Amino acid sequence: MRASTWLTIILIAPFVASALAPLLARRVASRWVGVASAAVALAAALALASALPQVAAGESLSATWRWVPALGVEIRLVLDGFSLFFALIVTGMGTLILLYASAYLGPDEDHGRFFAYMLAFMGAMLGVVLSSNLAVLYVFWELTSVTSFLLIGYWYHKEGSRYGAQKALLITAGGGLAMLLGFVLLYVEAGTFDLAGLSTQATQIRQSPRYPLITALVLAGAFAKSAQVPFHIWLPNAMEAPTPVSAFLHSATMVKAGLYLVARMVGVLGGTELWTWLVTGVGLASLVWGAALALRQTDLKALMANSTVSQLGLIMSLLGIATPAALAAAVFHTLNHAIFKGSLFLVTGIVEHETGTRDVRRLRGLARSMPLTAAAAGLASLALAGVPPLNGFVSKEMFFEAAWHFGHDRAGLAWLAPALAVLGSSFTMVYALLFFHGVFLARGGSSHDGAGHDPGWSLLGPPLLLGGLALVVGVGPQLVSGALLTPATSALAGAWTSVEAGLWHGLTPALAMSGAALAAGLAGYATRHRWVAGLPQMPPALRLDTWYDGFVRQLPAVADRLTRAHVTGRLSDHLGSLVAAVLLLWGYVILRLWGLEWRSASLGAIEPFDVALTGVMAASALATLAVRSRLGMAAALGGVGMPMAVLFVSLRAPDLALTQLIVESIALVLFVLAFRHLPPLVHRPVGTCRRAASAALSIGFGLSMATLTLIFTSHRVWPSIAPFFLETSLPLGGGRNVVNVILVDFRGLDTLGEITVLAIAALAVAGLMRRPARRHGAGPDERLAFPPLVTEDLSDAAPSSNAAPSSKVASPGGLERA
Amino acid sequence: MNEVILRTTARLAVPTTVVYALYLLLRGHNEPGGGFIAGLVSAAALTLMRMAGMGLAHPSADRRRKRWDFASLAPLGLLVAALTGIGAMLAGRPFLTSAVVALDLPVLGHVEMASAVLFDVGVFLVVVGTAMTIVERIGTSR
């Protein structure tokens, strides 16, 4: 199999599985959907792992599918060291978490829907890390936002879920739009969307006057996605999702998409003062602020969410420093964070499953009742705190070292970096102990002391395995450094960078910083009751949550006021405002074009037949004003539409004529159907002013339309494209009907857009207008769309003799079965 | 309106109209016709069926079966159209590139088909789905 096909299959497989999941749930037992999904993830992980030797040797695999060559958009999948590293995290964590989720979700939950979303997310995330073309990367990026929205809102009956889902979507997609603008500006600057192509022009991009704007826009998207200060507010609310979702999307993978992008951009936008200070500053702020927020939480999941903000900040600050050593630390910590934080979330899920609460103040001494869960929790939380010999310690050492060098080399303000690093890490130690010691080891004083017991293996296996991994990677970092970290770091640094990770580096400033952070953390934990409450809090007026909530509340209110101003419940008002707006625009256009010379020669000849038809149309239009009944009006409108179809025939446009004819017929049916629901027509007297205004508007509209048509048809700025279509319709499009070839081939994308709008309209109608209540037997009171006329005869009278049962007329619609 | 007349007429008219719609759809690439028009003609036929209270489009037809819902036809058509476009990419051409295939079929003889006809089938399905959704929902009391 060619590498490109193989890569494409890996990317498409989760999406296919996602489409099949609900079917599997419905046809087979829903218990197996989760296991099957985990199998898909595992297969993808193994397939990716098979590329490890090649990638570790410095090769990269790629696949290219042409999409919109004219805009530089192509689906280019590239599997280099960094993509592979991320893809393995996504699929590996996915395997464990999907397995866990199949046991976590109760048997009554909708497994099909849940795993369909999870698999679609996994596919989207793989798309993000494999796409080399930024336009395509953006598509997958927003797909992860959408699947995240669906998963946070999985229990959509809960107010909190809906709020959290909306908040996450608004913030991450808003950031995503800014990022798209940044990508477009990059394209304008460099003429390519491809990451490799952008890297080669990095110098030129950094010197362009647009560089600060591009950097700000792209980083806004990344910061929003990775929940960095000041966009971190959505992550705690995202915890309304089922715990496996929090473990997968909101700690191990999706929130790291921002880090992924920033890491990729180091080679394009990095290396400048702006980049260094902005990324490092935001990262360190998130590190300290997230950790300080985590200290104050009483809900385990909220604690974990803020801890995630803090740990992502740590990695972000490393990407700002962007030396090869810092990049290596960032890559390593990304892996370690996925391992220990995933495990912590899964443990939290078990605790909630077993005890029914997530409140830190009520949970005590769980180590006695669930020793294995406690073991997993202990390994993971100590790794988070950076205690040797666990994996978190090793990567945190590298982080301290990078921060120390940053301060040492730049001096001055840069010394804040190591200081904040130690402060944030000591906070981390405090809440890690709060989680492990407080919940599992401390005794007494609570109804939940020693509650619950260890769950079955499908729940316990994944977090234990991850906890074990944290220990194994910590003791033997060389296991991952050669095969994973080195290729990943090299892909970012642009040169082969060998990553040396080890437990013992000798007596270095980093070791002192580690020691200081751990000691301060221990001391802080012992005395936490005295100082945690006194930590500075944001005043409500400055809190972003307050701003966000205000915005979300105000926006509909403003829209409401605007809408009320022109939608008054009278159709004529509504139409009037629309027509007036269009008239203003056209008036401007006409005034601008007025000076153009008129060439009546280019206008077609007018036949008497056409004149007669136009006369009929005008008369029918006037008749709609005179007629007094709805049906009469509909008929008069038909008198406008039908001659129009004939006019199309006379102008030799059979396709148009056919369409017009049928639209006219269906519209008439729709009118008649809708009339059944409308109250009797009342003719209110209309004031003279209103009459005059309406007349002025409609006459103006008609006149401007006619004028514009004349101007446009008599004056050509560019040569007509018609000959091109006529000549190439058969050789290029394979059809002799030029109109249709234009529709489905030359301008196929436009048609695709149009039918998308149509389909959305259909779904909107289906959603807004409820279907008839399905009851047994069509009773006479159930007003069907097309009630058999007999129903009305039977409803209030005995069947008359001519409707005898022996008659051959089958009575429609369930009357016999009623 | 006398129901007997309507039903008898519909019985003749509906199959004819549906066949005509398919004819319009398939010949649309070379003669007047195409997905939009064929979709509308089909919608007209289906509406006539419902007015006469016949067959699959009637809400109180066989209640044991789940009622056929036209709203799902529109996304399906969209999928067909999009997949046609993606098919071109699989052949290494840009999205939505059309290809012409010449086939020698029994009965029909030598037929040249453009892949765009498949795209047109998608358009057809979307139009039928949308038109019928609107007819059904508006025609039903709330």
Q: Which of A258, A683, A691, A267 is nearest to A489 (CA)?
A: A267
Looking at residue A182, what is its pLDDT? 96
Distance CA A777, CA A774 (A): 9
A128-to-A267, A312, A776 alpha-carbon distances in Å:
17, 18, 50
Looking at residue A808, what is its pLDDT? 38
Looking at residue A320, what is its pLDDT? 93
Residue numbers in A near B11 (CB within 8 A): none
**CB atoms closer than 10 angstroms to residue A662:** 22
Residue numbers in B near A668 (CB within 8 A): none
Distance CA A215, CA A55 (A): 30
Q: How many helices (H) and strands (E) in chain A?
A: 35, 4
* Contact with chain A for residue B81, Cβ under 8 A: yes
Peptide bond into A389 cis (omega under 30): yes
Residue numbers in B near A69 (CB within 8 A): 94
β-strand partners of A64: A76
Looking at residue A445, what is its pLDDT? 67
What the block records as the tokens of A772 is 């008839």
Contact A669 B47 (CB under 8 A): yes
Looking at residue A258, what is its pLDDT? 95
Q: What angle do CA A218, A223, A227 make, to 5 degrees?
A: 155
Distance from the Cα of B24 to chain A's closest Cα (Å) equals: 10
Identity of the residue in B112, B130, B141 whose CB atom sits nearest the CB atom of A759: B130
Distance from the Cα of A637 to chain B's closest Cα (Å) equals: 19
Identity of the residue in B59, B78, B137 whose CB atom sits nearest the CB atom of A784: B59
Q: Please identify which residue in the block is written with the tokens 């101003």.
A: A565
Looking at residue A265, what is its pLDDT? 94
Mean pLDDT value of segment B115-129:
89
Looking at residue A598, what is its pLDDT? 62
pLDDT bracket for residue B29 (50, 70, 90): confident
Distance CA A721, CA A807 (A): 64
Residue numbers in A near B43 (CB within 8 A): 662, 666
What would the pLDDT profile of B59-116 be if each residue is shown by its tens digit? 544 444 445 678 888 999 999 998 888 888 877 777 878 777 766 666 666 666 677 8
Q: Classify residue A181 as exposed, middle or buried by CB count within 10 Å of its CB (0-12, 13-18, 19+).
A: middle
Looking at residue A497, what is its pLDDT? 81
Looking at residue A786, what is its pLDDT? 42
Contact A662 B51 (CB under 8 A): no
* Contact with chain A for residue B59, Cβ under 8 A: yes
pTM to 2 decimal places: 0.84
**What sign does the dihedral A116-A122-A128-A133 (CA atoms) show?**
negative
pLDDT along chain A (818 residues), means of 10: 85 94 83 91 94 88 86 90 94 95 88 94 96 95 95 92 93 95 94 91 92 95 93 91 93 94 93 93 94 90 94 95 92 95 94 88 85 93 92 92 91 89 94 90 73 83 94 89 88 83 79 91 87 76 83 90 81 86 88 69 77 94 89 90 93 88 88 82 83 91 87 75 84 81 86 92 83 45 40 36 38 35
Identity of the residue in A658, A766, A788 whose CB atom sits nearest the CB atom of B137: A766
Reported as half-sphere exposure (CB side, CA atoms, 13 A), residue A345 has a value of 31
A448-449 and A363-364 strand pairing: parallel
* Contact with chain A for residue B75, Cβ under 8 A: yes
What would the pLDDT profile of A496-519 be if each residue is shown by its tens digit? 888 877 777 777 888 899 999 999
Residue numbers in B near A75 (CB within 8 A): 89
What would the pLDDT profile of A350-407 be if each residue is shown by its tens digit? 999 888 888 888 888 888 888 999 999 999 999 999 998 899 999 999 999 999 999 9
pLDDT at B121 over 80: yes
Looking at residue A778, what is its pLDDT? 42
A366 phi-psi bin (left φ>0, alpha ψ -120 to 50, beta other): alpha
Question: Which candidate in A740, A790, A791 is best for mutational testing of the B interface (most B CBs within 10 A)?
Answer: A740
Cβ distance A62 to A492 under 8 Å? no
Identity of the residue in A676, A761, A783 whose CB atom sits nearest the CB atom of B130: A761
